[in-house]
């Protein structure tokens, strides 16, 4: 596995892969890798000739009240896991390498960023679009891989790629879960022992809500059932429970609309998100 920290070395590796006609699968991450990331790398490995992974804790997507320095990091472990996943090139730059200058040009996410996580994190998805735009240009991937757990991010990136004709394909990869249903997340390490026992109730609640919506097509009742199960089963504070169209993320839902039931819950030291999608065929 090639390990690079500077853009020039990354571009050299990409050029060599491209000139030999290889397809490139790209897995952008913020590190502290877990099985969810590995599922992305595995899918990229199956679909492509050459796999690139990036590890970059992107300061542009952290707000003024969010502690960038406390984001979990373990580069040595991440490098080992990337090797085990048969990644061909690992790119782990410093912030000054990614953002050496600031010419004042910005990218703003649209209305999709004003709901769910974006409602309480203004500017967050602007920062996401800033870094993925740069990474997409640097890596020039054939396909790029994102997990469905971060569904709002996925929807916004899919919209960026569609509306601005990026020459790549976005691949959705299903959420990887613990045996009790809890979605894998780097933030799970911040849960107390008691909170960890409670956390699977979030996914259980979403399943109940989706099943009710599938049968009755009643948005408010589905949200109520989801909310009640979380409140009964956890000590966490609900940030939101929303049922929206997908990928537009609006409240305009018809019988032929794909939907997402998405939840965010605050525990003492961690904020957990999860969701389920239901397509327009009821699947």
Whole-number pLDDT of residue 248: 94
Whole-number pLDDT of residue 241: 98
- CA 229 – CA 236 distance, rounded (Å): 12
Whole-number pLDDT of residue 67: 80
From residue 228, how far is each of 208, 214, 223, 274 by CA, in Å? 10, 18, 9, 16
Whole-prediction pTM: 0.93
Q: Known binding site for ATP: residues? A: 30-37, 147-150, 176, 184-187
Q: Known binding site for (R)-pantoate: residues? A: 61, 153
Residues 6 or more apart in contact with residue 114 via CB below 8 angstroms:
none
- CA 74 – CA 64 distance, rounded (Å): 24
From residue 185, how far is each of 199, 273, 274 by CA, in Å? 12, 9, 10
Residues 37, 124, 212, 229: which is the catalytic one? 37
- The neighbouring-strand residues paired with 238 are 265
Angle 245-187-28 from CA coordinates, rounded to 5°: 70
Whole-number pLDDT of residue 16: 96
Q: Which CATH class is domain 2-173?
A: alpha beta
- CA 161 – CA 60 distance, rounded (Å): 20
Whole-number pLDDT of residue 161: 98
Sign of the torsion formed by the C-alpha atoms of 29, 109, 61 and 242: negative
- CA 51 – CA 46 distance, rounded (Å): 10
Whole-number pLDDT of residue 258: 92
Instruction: Name the CATH code of domain 186-276 (choices 3.90.1300.10, 3.40.430.10, 3.30.1300.10, 3.30.70.1350).
Output: 3.30.1300.10
The domain limits of the chain are: 2-173, 186-276
Q: Count H helices, E strands: the chain?
A: 10, 9
Q: Known binding site: residues? A: 30-37, 61, 147-150, 153, 176, 184-187
Q: For each of the chain's 283 residues, which pLDDT tens digit applies?
A: 999 999 999 999 999 999 999 999 999 999 999 999 999 999 999 999 999 999 999 999 998 878 888 888 999 999 999 999 999 999 999 999 999 999 999 999 999 999 999 998 999 999 999 999 999 999 999 999 999 999 999 999 999 999 999 999 999 999 999 999 999 988 898 999 999 999 999 999 999 999 999 999 999 999 999 999 999 999 999 999 999 999 999 999 877 789 999 999 999 999 999 999 998 777 8
Instruction: Indicate if 96 belongs to the active site.
Output: no
- The neighbouring-strand residues paired with 240 are 264
């Amino acid at each position: 596995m090639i390990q690079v920290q500077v853009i020039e070395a990354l571009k050299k590796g990409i050029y060599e892969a491209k000139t030999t006609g290889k397809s490139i699968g790209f897995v952008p991450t913020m590190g502290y890798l877990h099985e969810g990331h590995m599922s992305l790398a595995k899918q990229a490995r199956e679909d492509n000739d050459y796999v690139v992974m990036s590890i970059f804790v992107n300061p542009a997507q952290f707000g003024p009240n969010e502690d960038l320095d406390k984001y979990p990091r373990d580069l040595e472990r991440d490098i080992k896991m990337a090797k085990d996943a048969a990644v061909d090139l690992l790119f782990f730059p410093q912030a000054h390498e990614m953002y050496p200058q600031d010419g004042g040009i910005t990218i703003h996410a649209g209305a999709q960023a004003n709901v769910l996580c974006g409602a309480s994190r203004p500017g967050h998805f602007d920062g996401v679009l800033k870094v993925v735009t740069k990474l997409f240009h640097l890596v020039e991937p054939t396909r790029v891989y994102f997990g469905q757990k971060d569904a709002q991010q996925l929807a916004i990136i899919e919209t960026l790629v569609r509306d601005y004709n990026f020459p790549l394909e976005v691949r959705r990869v299903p959420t990887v879960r613990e045996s009790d249903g809890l979605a894998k997340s780097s933030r799970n390490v911040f849960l107390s022992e008691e909170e960890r026992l409670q956390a699977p109730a979030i996914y259980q609640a979403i399943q109940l809500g989706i099943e009710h919506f599938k049968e009755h097509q009643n948005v408010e009742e589905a949200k109520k059932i989801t909310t009640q199960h979380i409140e009964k089963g956890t000590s966490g504070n609900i940030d939101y429970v929303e049922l929206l169209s997908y990928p537009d993320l609006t409240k305009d839902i018809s019988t032929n609309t794909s939907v997402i039931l998405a939840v965010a819950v605050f525990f003492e030291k961690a904020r957990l998100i999860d969701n389920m999608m239901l397509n327009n065929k009821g699947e």
